């Protein structure tokens, strides 16, 4: 194909591509003021001795057959042949911000379609589709998306975690070699959240260049960064296929998941703004535009499996009095579900527990001014269930092997049409029979042997899960779904296309939540982050926290309460009312503005805030996580406001003992102080003295 240089433009960034026989990203970074003809020639590389005799571009889809000794984007074969294809571009089309490039390898009988876009929020999206155009099955071992990184991307921020400890971060130096993470747990996973961030040395919230990547896929994946022996570097992300699971017959195709990426010139906050805005504009779209996120009361940690309708109605009454807007009955409502060992799959109301049905409760919840929500775990089955007794063959398994259980349960093979239809029918029944506004869709085990007719089938299982949700949503578009997988085990952009809330973690300990939510905030805006005020005595860590710390920690996200209000003291209930009220007041700002993770001088502090898009107001929480290092707690600089405008600083909330633990707190906490945005960014405000595991909330309002 004749060589073309094409530019994709975002708002602050751009991507320049050289498209000839193959496609190379020449540049991805800060936007240029203008372009002149042939300027890409400045990047034409040397051809050193001791290597191949021609220049080998680092393409959008690296191929061994082209002489690129890197991790190939496609690995596959046709009965041992056609294992090193070389694709030659045939056509390029640009429609809006989407570029589509079609390439073929006629000898191998394969077509590769690459789609790449850069939107106004500066988010790059890329995916590839491989089509078998020749007779004879083509086995695909790998199909990855690849994006280049410059040599100055010398550090990597990656995620690790586990149940009740999601979104933990660590840093690695990108010198020689590289980094690889593989997820084989069959769901997005707590352990290998499918994202990482590369950056220049020492990149932080405000400084340094950073390149963020997120793979939108809820199953097994592989993500890597390679530092090539010649110094060039690139990242790659793919759905990880199990042996033999992707075989394309003639005419069939397979697509990679979408890979989302963004470049930020000014540290991680700017990277998050790009991703958050993209989530709002393009992933959530108008699905929740006009609806403030309703405050939840979830029954789980309040009553677990002890369901008594009269008592639940009491809980609902008290929830409504506290200002709750959506009441959710969690696990324990269906036939024989008295603990976590039995009944998954039997999606029939437990008439022993609910002899008068659910109607009365739903009506009561609705009459109290709240929406009603119900918990399901559709993809799962207990061996002790009527469903298993009737259909032992519905297990997602490989015959002849006994796989370990997870939370005493197994997964259902969604590739069996009868199983899929049964689950659809059961969910559809409840959504049709009752006024259900929301489903908490749980998934509590990892997938060990995703077998279908003896073949590996983990990838298809995930596609069928998406299909099941999509089919339900098409029939019940008014219902909102929360994605939960034992807390934060299924949090990714592909799920978010069909859900509106994530249960970030089963850990309701406010201290742990400060870190978990901060980790999640790099890629997700607060309105999709389920954050609950739990009981004073936390169930997952046995720590005790006052309502101030619990309330402020849950304040910014999609807020909820998770406890039994009937058993709470008047003092505690007063606290719930206060923080629900505060949340409702601030909600329009919190769920539309720019989230900012502030840099603090003392690691014992975490500061997070939201600045309105028009920079008229901001709300900031300073949390004291541990003993402060020094007796004076330094200053917090607050960038992001209008330099020339003046703002009034007000203390909105503080712990009960705030003034008892010092002779005097900083002056601004006692009386409103006014200063410029410039002053706030450069000089900042004195941080109050706080006890560990407490927090303050500050409001900044522009004065005219």
Question: By the criterion CB under 6 A, which residues form the site for ligand DGJ?
Answer: 300, 330-331, 375, 442, 444, 484, 486-487, 503, 506
Structure tokens at 70: 């890197």
**What's the rounded Cα separation, in Å, for the pair 269 and 276?**
10
Residue 339 tokens, joined? 């603990």
Q: Report which of 619, 621, 617 is spatially closest to residue 605, judged by C-alpha positions.
A: 621
For residues 444 and 461, which CB has a smaller minimum distance to ligand DGJ in the complex?
Answer: 444
CA 268, distance to chain mean position in Å, is 16
State the nearest-atom distance from the C-beta of 563 to ligand DGJ, in Å.
13
In which residue are the tokens 């590389």 written? 45
Q: Which of 12, 122, 330, 442 is catalytic?
A: 442
506 is catalytic: yes
- Give DSSP secondary structure letters for 468-495: HHHHHHHH-TT-EEEE-BTTBSS-SHHH
Nearer to ligand DGJ among residue 208 and residue 487 (C-beta): 487
Shorter beta-carbon distance to ligand DGJ: residue 209 or 330: 330
> Is there a contact between 224 and 174 (Cβ–Cβ < 8 Å)?
no
The gap between the terminal CA atoms of the chain, to the nearest Å, is 59
- 407 φψ region: left (φ > 0), alpha (ψ -120 to 50), beta (else): left
Least distance in angstroms from the C-beta of 519 to ligand DGJ? 17
Q: How many residues does the chain have?
A: 704
In whole angstroms, the minimum distance from the beta carbon of 430 to ligand DGJ comes to 16
**Residue of 105, 331, 346, 506 with catalytic role:** 506
What is the longest distance spanned by two Cα atoms in the chain?
Answer: 83
Q: Which two tokens stand for residue 631?
A: 């007796």
Angle at 378 between CA 377 and CA 383, to 5 degrees: 85
For the chain, the C-alpha Rg in angstroms (whole number) is: 27
Instruction: For 329-362, give the DSSP string.
Output: E-SS-BTT-SSTTS-TT--SB-TTT-TT-SHHHH
Three-state DSSP at 697 gives: strand
Q: In the complex with ligand DGJ, which residue's Cβ is closer, 254 or 484? A: 484
* Minimal distance, residue 319 CB to ligand DGJ, in Å: 17
Output phi, psi for 625, to 5 deg. -85, -40
CA distance 604 to 12: 34
Euclidean distance between CA atoms 131 and 61, whole angstroms: 15
> In the complex with ligand DGJ, which residue's Cβ is closer, 331 or 527?
331
Q: Which is nearer to ligand DGJ, 437 or 697 (CB)?
A: 437
Q: How far is the CB of 164 from ligand DGJ (least distance, A)?
A: 9
User: What is the smallest separation between the CB atom of 564 and ligand DGJ, expressed in angstroms?
Assistant: 15
Task: Let me know how many helices (H) and strands (E) the chain has, helices first.
Answer: 12, 40
Q: In angstroms, give the least distance from the CB of 366 to ligand DGJ.
A: 22
Residue 166 or 238 having the CB closest to ligand DGJ: 166
Half-sphere exposure of 430 (CA within 13 A, CB side): 26
DSSP annotation of 46 reads P
Q: Considering the complex, state which of residue 264 and residue 517 has its C-beta at the smaller distance from ligand DGJ.
A: 517
Instruction: Give the nearest distance from C-beta 687 to ligand DGJ in angstroms.
Output: 34
* C-alpha span between 517 and 166 (Å, rounded): 9
User: What is the DSSP annotation of 268-301?
Assistant: HHHHHHHHHHHIIIIIITTTTTTS--PPEEE-HH
Please identify, using beta-carbon distances, which residue of 487 and 666 lies nearer to ligand DGJ: 487
Identify whether the C-beta of residue 275 lies closer than 8 Å to the C-beta of residue 594: no
Q: Which residue has the tokens 């889809």?
A: 61
Give just the sign of the alpha carbon dihedral 611, 617, 623, 624.
positive
Closest approach of ligand DGJ to the CB of residue 508, in Å: 9
Q: Which CB sits closer to ligand DGJ, 238 or 562?
A: 562
- Residue whose Cβ sits closest to ligand DGJ: 331
**Residue (198 or 486) nearer to ligand DGJ, CB:** 486
Instruction: Give min distance, CB of 330 to ligand DGJ, in A.
Output: 5
Helix, strand, coil shares of the chain as percentages rounded to 5? 20, 35, 45
Other beta carbons within 10 Å of 194? 29
Phi, psi of 520 (to 5 degrees): -70, -30
Q: Find the shortest distance in angstroms from Cβ 310 to ligand DGJ.
A: 22
Answer whether 153's CB lies under 8 Å from 213's CB.
no
- Indicate which residues carry an active-site annotation: 442, 506
């Amino acid at each position: 194909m004749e060589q073309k240089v094409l530019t994709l433009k975002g708002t602050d960034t751009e991507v320049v591509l050289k498209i000839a026989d193959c496609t190379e990203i020449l540049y991805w970074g800060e936007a240029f003021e203008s372009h002149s003809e042939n300027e890409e020639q400045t990047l034409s590389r040397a051809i050193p001795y001791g290597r191949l005799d021609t220049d080998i571009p680092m393409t959008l889809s690296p191929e061994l057959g082209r002489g690129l000794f890197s991790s190939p984007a496609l690995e596959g074969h046709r009965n041992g042949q056609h294992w090193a294809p070389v694709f030659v571009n045939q056509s390029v089309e640009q429609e809006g911000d989407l570029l589509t490039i079609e390439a073929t390898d006629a000898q191998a009988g394969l077509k590769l379609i690459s789609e790449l876009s850069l939107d106004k929020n500066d988010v790059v999206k890329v995916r590839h589709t491989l089509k078998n155009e020749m007779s004879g099955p083509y086995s695909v071992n790998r199909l990855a998306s690849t994006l280049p990184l410059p040599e100055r991307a010398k550090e990597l921020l990656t995620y690790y975690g586990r149940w009740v400890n999601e979104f933990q971060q660590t840093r690695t130096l990108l010198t020689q070699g590289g980094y690889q993470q593989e997820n084989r747990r069959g769901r997005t996973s707590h352990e290998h959240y499918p994202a990482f961030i590369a950056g220049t040395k020492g990149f932080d919230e405000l400084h340094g260049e950073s390149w963020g990547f997120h793979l939108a896929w809820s199953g097994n994946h592989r993500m890597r960064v390679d530092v090539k022996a010649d110094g060039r570097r690139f990242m790659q992300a793919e759905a990880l296929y199990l042996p033999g699971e992707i075989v394309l017959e003639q005419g069939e195709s397979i697509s990679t998941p979408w890979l989302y990426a963004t470049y930020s010139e000014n540290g991680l906050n700017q990277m998050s703004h790009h991703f958050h805005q993209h989530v709002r504009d393009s992933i959530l779209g108008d699905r929740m535009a006009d609806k403030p996120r309703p405050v939840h009361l979830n029954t789980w940690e309040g009553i677990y499996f002890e369901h008594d309708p009269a008592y639940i109605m009491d809980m609902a009454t008290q929830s409504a009095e506290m200002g709750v807007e959506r009441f959710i009955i969690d696990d324990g409502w269906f036939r024989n579900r008295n603990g976590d060992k039995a009944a998954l799959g039997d999606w029939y109301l437990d008439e022993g527990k609910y002899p008068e049905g659910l109607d009365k409760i739903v009506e009561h919840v609705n009459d109290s001014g709240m929406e009603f929500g119900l918990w399901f775990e559709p993809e799962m089955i207990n061996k002790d269930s009527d469903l298993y007794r009737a259909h032992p063959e519905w297990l997602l398994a490989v015959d002849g092997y006994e796989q370990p259980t997870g939370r005493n349960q197994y997964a259902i093979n969604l590739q069996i049409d009868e199983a899929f239809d049964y689950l659809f029918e059961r969910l559809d029944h409840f959504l049709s029979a009752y006024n259900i506004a929301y489903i908490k869709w749980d998934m509590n085990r990892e997938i060990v042997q995703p077998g279908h007719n003896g073949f590996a089938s983990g990838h298809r299982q995930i596609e069928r899960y998406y299909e099941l949700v999509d089919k339900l949503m098409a029939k019940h578009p008014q219902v909102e779904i929360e994605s939960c997988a034992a807390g934060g085990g299924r949090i990714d952009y592909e799920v978010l296309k069909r859900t509106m809330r994530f249960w970030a973690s089963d850990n309701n300990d406010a201290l742990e939540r400060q870190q978990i939510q901060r980790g999640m905030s790099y890629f997700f805006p607060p309105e999709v982050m389920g954050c609950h005020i739990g009981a004073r005595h936390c169930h997952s860590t046995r720590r005790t926290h006052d309502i101030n710390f619990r309330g402020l920690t849950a304040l910014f996200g999609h807020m909820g309460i998770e406890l039994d209000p009937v058993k709470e003291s008047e003092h505690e209930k007063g606290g719930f009312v206060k923080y629900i009220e505060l949340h409702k007041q601030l909600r329009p700002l919190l769920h539309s503005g720019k989230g900012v993770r502030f840099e603090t001088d003392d690691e014992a502090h975490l500061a997070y805030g939201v600045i309105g898009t028009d920079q008229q107001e901001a709300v900031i929480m300073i949390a004291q996580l541990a003993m402060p290092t020094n007796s004076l707690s330094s200053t917090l600089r607050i960038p992001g406001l209008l330099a020339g405008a003046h703002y009034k600083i007000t203390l909105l909330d503080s712990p009960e003992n705030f003034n008892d633990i010092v002779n005097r707190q900083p002056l601004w906490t006692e009386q409103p102080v006014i200063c410029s945005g410039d002053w706030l960014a450069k000089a900042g405000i004195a941080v109050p003295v706080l006890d560990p595991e407490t927090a303050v909330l500050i409001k900044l309002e522009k004065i005219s």
